[in-house]
């Protein structure tokens, strides 16, 4: 499924930064398709964290409210010009004239990173811890680019590995030790503090715009795995462009990265306990449809939409998964305790196997939300709801096939007995025949009855689904529960 997903979505989009740089480079229309390949001093670059969902190294003029009070350094999941840093020499503060001779960045070389928009360098403050994570030193963007030979803003390049086919071009004149865009993974070690530029994986508070916390991580820290970077994009008019289309990533790597990124992104959406939120709902309320979800503003003169399920099928299927199946399992266990066997019905694959699969599917899609720290909404229950509705259909089919077949046989035996007995009145015989016909009709047409009722309820609630632009108070009959908020 994910392979089909990747093949169908082959064009670039605004949220590309979620994926690895190499994955982005092969998307149609990506700006990464044409850029210099080997990284040199004087280049303006964007640095991508290899941590899933980590984003791009970022800075802005806003200051830390604690610690050094210096310019914030973060990681940001979207592309803008505040992600751009220039690679400058350690011992030369001259302007671009110093870069007339091309000098490539190689393993072991020391660089400074100057934030292009604010003309400040990336530096470590050993006197202060990172704002959220005490295991990291604070990294800020307050270094003066005109001050040279200052160890706190010097970073040594340590190449981890180089990916993709183009890394094998060393026979064509490329030095394997040169940092390359997209394909080289490396660490940046601060010369002064002996720590590495990395992420904690935590979102900053409102003063940091919920961007990812960046700090300097010691080699023996549990966060050391978060210190790997790659150059995602490079601008340097003195270097020729290369076509990275031949660079490939493995499907398995992309699959794992995307799922880890989704996990981190979801867990980063934390509820704000200081705000009253009428949109969120706790998972325990979902099976009972206690809360609806307003999809827009509720002004009288605008179209309004309320996410709300069909109460008949929703509550009916909830009854099925929460009551009938557990009771049935309890019945089987009691039968086994009394008789020593589960009986032919329990051994039948026609019921117990699909029932177990559907009930298990409902449970597995529902339970994880109880251990998530993120905000939750009604639509998170929809995958479980699919299993729940299918389970209700199976339960109804099983119920009518089993119990009404028994009722039919009982009625027929009574009818036969009545016809042979002269002591039974004609009215009783007629009643038995009528009961038999009713049982046969219900058994044959229960699904039609259910469809008619469900369709009628759906049409009754359809204005909430398809939208309405009249006063919500006119739909007061649809507010079966006060918490549905159909009208104020």
Mean pLDDT of 132-148: 90
Distance (Å, whole) CA 58 – CA 211: 9
CB 373 within 8 A of CB 392: no
Residue with tokens 């289309």: 245
Task: Pull the structure tokens for residue 245.
Answer: 């289309």
Q: Give, in order, the Cα–Cα distances in Å from 152 to each of 135, 169, 259.
A: 18, 35, 36
pLDDT given for residue 285 in this prediction: 94
Distance (Å, whole) CA 255 – CA 173: 34
Distance (Å, whole) CA 12 – CA 26: 9
Q: For the chain, where do the domains classified as CATH 2.80.10.50 start and end?
A: 2-267
pLDDT band at residue 140 using 50, 70 and 90 as cut-offs: very high
Q: Is 54 helix (H, G, I), strand (E, B) or coil?
A: coil
pLDDT in tens, 38-53: 999 999 999 999 887 7
pLDDT in tens, 101-131: 789 999 999 999 999 999 999 999 999 999 9
**Nearby residues of 223 by Cβ (< 8 Å), 6 or more positions away:** 133, 135, 136, 198, 199, 200, 201, 217
**Nearby residues of 212 by Cβ (< 8 Å), 6 or more positions away:** 49, 54, 55, 74, 75, 76, 77, 199, 200, 201, 202, 203, 204
Which span out of 231-245, 391-405, 430-444 was modeled with the highest average pLDDT?
231-245
CB 58 within 8 A of CB 115: no
Angle at which helix 325-339 crosses helix 352-366, to 10 degrees, equals 130
pTM for the whole structure: 0.62
H/E stretch holding 136 reads strand 136-144
Question: Among 283-297, 336-350, 367-381, 405-419, which is the least confidently predicted range?
Answer: 405-419
Give one DSSP letter per residue of 335-381, joined into a string: HHHHHSS-HHHHH-TTTHHHHHHHHHHHHHHHGGGGS--S---GGGG
Which residues lie across from 138 on neighbouring strands?
125, 215
CATH pick for 2-267 out of 2.80.10.50, 3.90.25.10, 3.20.20.80, 2.70.70.10:
2.80.10.50
């Amino acid at each position: 499924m994910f392979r089909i997903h990747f093949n169908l979505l082959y064009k670039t989009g605004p949220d590309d930064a979620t994926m690895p740089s190499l994955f982005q480079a092969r998307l149609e229309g990506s700006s990464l398709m044409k850029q210099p390949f080997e990284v040199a001093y004087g280049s303006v670059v964007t640095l991508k964290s290899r941590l899933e969902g980590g984003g791009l190294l970022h800075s802005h003029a806003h200051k830390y409210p604690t610690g050094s009070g210096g310019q914030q350094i973060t990681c940001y999941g979207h592309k803008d010009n505040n992600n751009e840093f220039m690679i400058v020499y350690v011992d030369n503060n001259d302007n671009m004239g110093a870069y007339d001779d091309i000098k490539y960045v190689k393993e072991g070389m020391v660089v400074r990173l100057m934030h292009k928009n604010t003309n400040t360098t990336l530096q470590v403050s050993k006197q202060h811890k990172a704002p959220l994570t005490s295991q990291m030193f604070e990294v800020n963007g307050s270094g003066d680019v005109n001050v040279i030979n200052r160890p706190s803003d010097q970073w040594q390049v340590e190449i981890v590995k180089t990916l993709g086919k183009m890394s094998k071009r060393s026979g064509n004149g490329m030095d394997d030790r040169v940092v390359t865009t997209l394909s080289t993974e490396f660490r940046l070690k601060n010369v002064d503090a002996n720590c590495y530029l990395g992420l904690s994986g935590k979102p900053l508070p409102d003063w940091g715009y919920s961007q990812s916390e960046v700090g300097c991580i010691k080699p023996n820290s549990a966060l050391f795995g978060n210190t790997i970077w790659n150059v995602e994009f490079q601008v340097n008019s003195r270097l020729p462009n290369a076509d990275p289309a031949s660079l490939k990533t493995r499907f398995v790597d992309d699959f794992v990265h995307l799922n880890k990124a989704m996990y981190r992104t979801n867990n980063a959406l934390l509820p704000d306990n200081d705000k009253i939120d009428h949109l969120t709902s706790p998972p325990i309320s979902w099976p009972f449809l206690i809360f609806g979800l307003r999809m827009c503003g509720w002004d009288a003169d605008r179209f309004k939409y309320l996410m709300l399920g069909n109460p008949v099928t929703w509550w009916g299927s909830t009854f099925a998964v929460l009551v009938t199946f557990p009771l049935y399992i309890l019945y089987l266990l009691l039968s086994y305790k009394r008789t020593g066997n589960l009986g032919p019905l329990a051994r039948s694959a026609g019921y117990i196997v699909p029932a177990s699969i559907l009930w298990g599917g409902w449970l597995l899609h529902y339970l994880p939300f109880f251990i998530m720290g993120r905000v939750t909404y009604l639509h998170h229950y929809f995958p479980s709801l699919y299993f729940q509705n299918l389970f209700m259909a199976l339960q109804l089919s099983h119920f009518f096939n089993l119990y009404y077949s028994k009722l039919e046989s009982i009625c027929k035996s009574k009818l036969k007995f009545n016809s042979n007995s002269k002591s039974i009145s004609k009215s009783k015989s007629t009643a038995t025949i009528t009961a038999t016909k009713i049982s046969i009709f219900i058994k044959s047409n229960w699904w039609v009855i259910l469809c008619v009722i469900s369709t009628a309820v759906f049409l009754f609630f359809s204005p909430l689904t398809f939208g309405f632009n009249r006063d919500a108070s006119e739909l007061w009959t649809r507010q079966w529960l006060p918490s549905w908020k159909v009208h104020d």
